[in-house]
Chains A and B, each alone.
Chain A
Amino acid sequence: MTADQALIDVEHLTMRFGGLVAIDDVSFKAQPRQITAIIGPNGAGKTTVFNCITGFYKPTIGRLTLRGDREYLLERMLGHEIGQQARVARTFQNIRLFPGMTVLENLMVAQHNKLMRASGMSVFGLLGLNRYRVAEAAAVEKARGWLERIDLVVDADRPAGELPYGAQRRLEIARAMCTEPCLLCLDEPAAGLNPRESAELNELLVSIRDRDGIGVLLIEHDMSVVMRISDHVVVLDYGRKIAEGVPDDVRRDPAVIHAYLGTGEEGADA
C-alpha cells in the first residue's frame, strides 16, 4: 500500500507540556479498513497521541493528515470540527457517556449534526414538519441497528449510567459509530472487561473493520485483544516510537521486550 492511501498520516508529531516532552517526533500511518494498535507501557504517550488526533491538544510540532472524503489537516482544526467535518470519532479511557440520558438518547445525540440539518436548525422541527420526522425516524432506526449489534435493545430506554460496566463500554463504541466516522479511535476499550466480554469486544471491532469498512486506531493494554485482531502495531515508549509492524514481528522485537520487561528475556506477551 502506498503512503497516499493511508487513512491517517502522523508525521513528526511532537507534544511538549512546558519542559516535559510527552511525544517526541512520532510518525506512523494507519490504513483504511485496518485495525492499528498503539501499545506501550504506562506513560508512554499513547493517550496524548489520541488527544492530538482528536483535537483535544494542539501538537507542538507535526502534521496530521486525514484522508476521508477529502484531505484534512487535523492539527489546524478545532476540537468539535474534527468530529463534525473530518469525521474522526473517539471513545475515552474513563467512559464518558451521558449518564442521565437514556441509551437511545445517547445514540441520538451522536447523530446531532445530521439531525440539526434535517430540523432546519430547529425551525422545521418546531413546526413539526414531515421532513424532520422522517430524519428522526431514520436516526432511531440507525440507533436500533447499533443496539442490536451491541445487544442492548432491551435496555434502550434505561439511563446509560445504570448499565453495567461492560455494556457502557460497548455503548460508547456504538455512540462513536453513530457519528458515521471514517476513523474510530478507541482508548483502552477492553480495560476492566472480563475475558468473555473481551472476546465479544474483539468480535465487535473486527465487524466494524470488515463490515463497516472503518479504520480503527486502538490503544490497548490487553495483549489478547491487540495480538488477535490488530493488523498493524505501533509501540511507544517514553514518547518515542520504538517499533512498528505486524503483531508477530512486534512481539519478538528486542526493543519492545526491553521496554515492557526491562530485560532481554523472552515472554513479552505474558
Chain B
Amino acid sequence: MTPRLFSLLKDAALTAFVAAALGLFIVGFRTVDVGSTKGLAFDYELVDLAVAVVAIFVGRLGLSFASDGQRWPALVLGAVLGAVGAAPVRLPSTFLHWFVGLAGLLVIGRSLWPSAERAFGQARQSPQGRKLGVVGARWLAWVLLAAAVILPITPLADQKTMDLGVLILTYVMLGWGLNIVVGLAGLLDLGYVAFYAVGAYSYALLSTQWGLGFWAVLPLAGAFAATFGLVLGFPVLRLRGDYLAIVTLGFGEIIRLVLINWVDLTNGPAGIGGIPGPTLFGAVFAENAPPGQKTFAEMMGVPFDGTQRLIFLYYIILGLALITNLFALRLRRLPVGRAWEALREDEIACRALGINPTNTKLTAFAIGAMLAGFAGSFFAAKQRFVSPESFVFIESAIILAIVVLGGMGSQIGVVLAAVLLIGLPEWFRELGTYRMLAFGLAMVLIMIFRPRGLIAHRAPSLRLHEKPSGGGG
C-alpha cells in the first residue's frame, strides 16, 4: 500500500466517521409513539445508517481518486455504487436505492468531468463550435418565443400545463421588471412584491367598487404602483446597498400589514373576491354571461370549454411580458439605461460626470414598480381573488432569486431561471417529500457551475466596430 493510497483511505474513513456521527441521531434511531400508556419507544434503523455510511466511504474514496487524476479506480467505484443502487437487492428503503445510485452517478460524473470539460472547451474553440454558439445565442430567444406562442394550440395544452405556463410567465414578467432595478441599476430591492400588491389591489378595488374593466385599470394600476415607487424611492434612494435592501424589505412588509389592517378598504385578511376576469372585446370567459354581456363561446360560436379562459389569460400575460421585455431592451440602449449601469458600476464617477444619481435611480425604481403594477393587476384578474397572503416576503425573494440566478441584467437568463425556479418545483411534485431536496440540489449545482448566473455574458449596448464574424461568446 502506497502512502498516497493510505492517506486517501484515511480521509474516506474520516468522512464516513463524521457521516456516521451525524447520521446516528438523524437517521439511526427515532422515537415512536407506542400508545398512550407506554409512551415513547425507540425505533432503530441502524441498517439504513450502515448502508449510507458505507456508500459515503466508497463515494468519498471515488471522489478522491477522481480529483487525484486516477480515473479508472474512480470509475470502478462509481460503477459499483451505481450498480448497487440500481440492483434489485433489497435495501431497507427506496430512498437508499436513490441515495446510493446518485452517489455512484456523482462519482462517475466527477471522474469524467475533466475530460468532458476539455472536450467541451475544444468544441467551443473549433470553428463549427463557434458558429453554433453564435447561431444558438441569436436563435435561442426566438425559438423560446415561438414555443411560447404555439404552446396553447399544441396537444400539450391541458389545464395543468396552461396553469403552469401562466404562472411561469407572470414570474418572467416580474423578473424582467425587477431586472431593471436590480440587474441594471444595481439597487437591491427586497420589497418588490409591494408594488405587485399595489397593482393587484388597484384592479381588485376599482373593478369591484367602481365597475371598471381590466383594460381600463391596467394603465392605472401601473401608474399607481409607479407613484408608490416614487414616494418610497425619494427618501430612501440615497441609501446604498444593504441599507436600501433593509428599507425596501420593510416597505414590502408595511404594505402587507396595511392591507391586512385597513379592513374598511381592503376587507383585511379575508381579501377581496368576485373580481371580474379580463374581457376580449367585451366578451367574458364564463359558461353563463352576466346580463347584458356575451360569452366568448357565444361570440365565436364555439362550444364552451374551461381552457379557453386559461389560454386567453396565457396570451395576455405573454403579451405583457413581451412588452416589458421590449421596453427594458430599448431603455438599456438609451442614455438613461447606460446611466443606470454606470451608477451600478461607480456612483461617485457618475456624479463627477454630472449625472444626477437620485433622479436616475428614481426612474429605475419607478419603472420597475410600474411593471410590477401591471403584473399585479393581471394577477388579480387571473385569480379573481386577492388577499394579503399572496404578497409575502418569500414572493419578493423568489423574484429576486430569478434575477440573480438568471445572471444579473440578462433577459434570456430570467426566462430560464423562471422556468427552473417555478417550473421545477411543480414538476417535482411527484417526488413528494423529496421535492424541495431536489430543488435545493438543483440550486447548489447551479451555484457551483454557474456562480455568476445562468447567463453571465453582458452584451454592449452599442458598438463602434461591427461584431467580428464567428467571434461570439
Contacts and interface: CB of A to CB of B under 8 A. Distances in A.
Interface of A: 54-56, 79-85, 87, 89-90, 92, 96-102, 104-105, 108-113, 115-116, 119, 121-122, 125-126, 132, 136, 140, 143-144, 147, 153, 156-157, 175-176, 179
A232 to B, nearest CB: 24
Contact of A98 (B327, B346, B354, B356): B346
B358 to A, nearest CB: 9
A84 B355 CA distance: 7
B334 to A, nearest CB: 4
Contacts of A136: 462
12 contacts: A80-B350, A80-B356, A98-B342, A100-B345, A101-B345, A102-B463, A104-B463, A104-B464, A105-B338, A112-B335, A143-B464, A179-B354
A157 B458 contact: no
6 pairs of A and B residues whose beta carbons are closest in the complex: A83-B354, A84-B354, A156-B464, A115-B335, A98-B345, A96-B349
Given A100-B345, A144-B464, A80 B335 contact: no
B351 A80 contact: yes
Nearest to B337: A122
B176 to A, nearest CB: 16
Contacts of A176: 352-353
Given A113-B355, A116-B336, A126-B330, 16 more contacts: A80-B357, A83-B355, A89-B353, A97-B346, A98-B341, A98-B342, A98-B346, A101-B345, A104-B462, A109-B339, A112-B335, A112-B354, A125-B330, A156-B465, A157-B464, A176-B353
Contacts of A55: 351
A104 B461 CA distance: 10
A92 B353 CA distance: 12
B428 to A, nearest CB: 35
B352 A89 contact: yes
A84 B356 contact: yes
Given A98-B349, A104-B463, A125 B354 contact: no
B438 interface: no
B13 interface: no
A54 B349 CA distance: 11
Interface string B442-469: 0000000000000000101111110000
A85 B353 CA distance: 11
Contacts of A126: 327, 330-331, 334
A140 B334 contact: no
